[in-house]
Amino acid sequence: MTVNPYPLDPERDLELVRDVDVAPELVWRAWTEPELLKQWFAPAPFAVTACTLDLRPGGEFSFTMRTPEGDEFPNGGCFLDVVEGERLVFTECLSAGFRPRHAEIPMTAILELTPNGSGGTTYRAVAIHLDAEGQKAHEEMGFHDGWGAALDQLVALMSKA
Amino acid sequence: MTVNPYPLDPERDLELVRDVDVAPELVWRAWTEPELLKQWFAPAPFAVTACTLDLRPGGEFSFTMRTPEGDEFPNGGCFLDVVEGERLVFTECLSAGFRPRHAEIPMTAILELTPNGSGGTTYRAVAIHLDAEGQKAHEEMGFHDGWGAALDQLVALMSKA
C-alpha cells in the first residue's frame, strides 16, 4: 500500500527522520547492494557478516549480525514494497515467498527517501509494531541510537562514493 | 514474488486443487466482492457476518466468522499480491498497512486460478505455514474438509450467477 508519506501511529510506531548530505540514489544503493549494506547496517562494534537481498515483494532480505564477542545472529525477513530510489518496505514477520516467520519483536520497516532540494536526502525510517508493547520493547533495545548510528555510518560511507 | 505456479513445500504447506465448472472471472468475483464472499467463505453451519476487502498489497482483508451458537470471531490480515483473475495472496501475519498481527496459526494463503480449457477453472489454494507444526495444526483443524466445503459453496453460488 504505497501511501507516501506513511502516516505515523505515535502509539505503536517509531521513526527516525533526518536530512543527510547524500543524494537519494546513493542512499538507495547503500540499502540495496549487499556489499555496501554490510559496511554500515550494524552500528559498530557490531558487524554484518552476510547479506542476501532479493529486491522484490516476497524476496528475501536476510543478514547476519556479529557481536564484538564473535557470536553471530541471523536475522531478516522479506520485502513487501519496492519503489526504486524512493521507498522500501520489509517485514520480519514473513520470510522469502511470504512464508510466516517468527520474530522476537515483530516489526515492519518503511524507508522513505525524498530529495531535500540541496542535493541531499530527507531520510525517514519507520518501524511499525504489533502494539505499544512492541514499540516500547524496540525503543528500549535502542532503536533511536542504533538506527541513528547506522545512518551516520551510511553517510560516512557514501560521502566517499 | 509472482512465481506461478507456487512450488509447494510438502513439509510445511497444505493445498487444495480442484477443477470446477465455474469460469475464472466468476471465481475471482466470489473471492473479491464482500457481498459474495460472505455467502460461501465459511463452511456451513458457520457464517461470515462482516467482510472488508481492500484489494491491493497492504490492503485489509478481514472477516467475522459466526459459529452456530452465535459467537463471533473476527479474523483476517492483509493482501500481499493481487493479479486480477489469476492470483491472490494474503497473510494473517500482517494487518492493513503491513502492520504485524498476531495469528494463532500463522499462515499465508495463495489462490491460483487457471482456465481449464473447457470454460471452468483449475482452482488451487495453498496455505503456507511457519513450519511442520503449523501445517499439522492447520490440517487437524480441518483444512481439507473446511476449504473443500467452502469451495463447494462457492461453486453452488456462482453457478447461479
Give the ipTM: 0.94
- The verdict on residue A89 lying in a domain is yes
Comparing C-alpha atoms, which of B5, B76, B89, B86 is closest to residue B42? B76
- The verdict on residue B8 lying in a domain is no
Residues of B with CB below 8 A from A6's CB?
Answer: 97
Residue with cell 498476531: B102
pLDDT digits (tens, 9 = 90+) for A97-109: 999 999 999 999 9
pLDDT (average), residues A24-43: 98
- The verdict on residue A34 lying in a domain is no
- The verdict on residue B3 lying in a domain is no
- The verdict on residue A66 lying in a domain is no
pLDDT at res. B88: 98
Pairwise CA distance, residues B98 & B59, whole Å: 8
- Report, in this order, helix, strand and coil percent for chain A, each rounded to 5: 25, 35, 35
- Report CB contact under 8 Å: B134, A100: yes
Give me B10's grid cell.
510438502
Contact of B20 with B120, CB cutoff 8 Å: yes
- The verdict on residue A83 lying in a domain is yes
Contact of B48 with B66, CB cutoff 8 Å: yes
- Report CB contact under 8 Å: A80, B81: no
Is residue B1 within 8 angstroms of chain A, CB to CB?
Answer: yes
- If pLDDT is split at 50, 70 and 90, which confidence band does A160 have? confident
- Report, in this order, helix, strand and coil percent for chain B, each rounded to 5: 25, 35, 35
- Report CB contact under 8 Å: A1, B101: no
Tell me what percent of the residues of chain A surpass a pLDDT of 70: 98
* Test mutation, A54, A55, A82, A98, chain B, max B CBs within 10 A: A98
- The verdict on residue A57 lying in a domain is no
- The verdict on residue A67 lying in a domain is no
Q: Which domain holds residue A99?
A: 13-28+77-159
- Report CB contact under 8 Å: A128, B1: no
Q: How many domains does chain B have?
A: 1
What pairing do the DSSP bridges indicate for beta strands A13-20 and A47-53?
Answer: unpaired
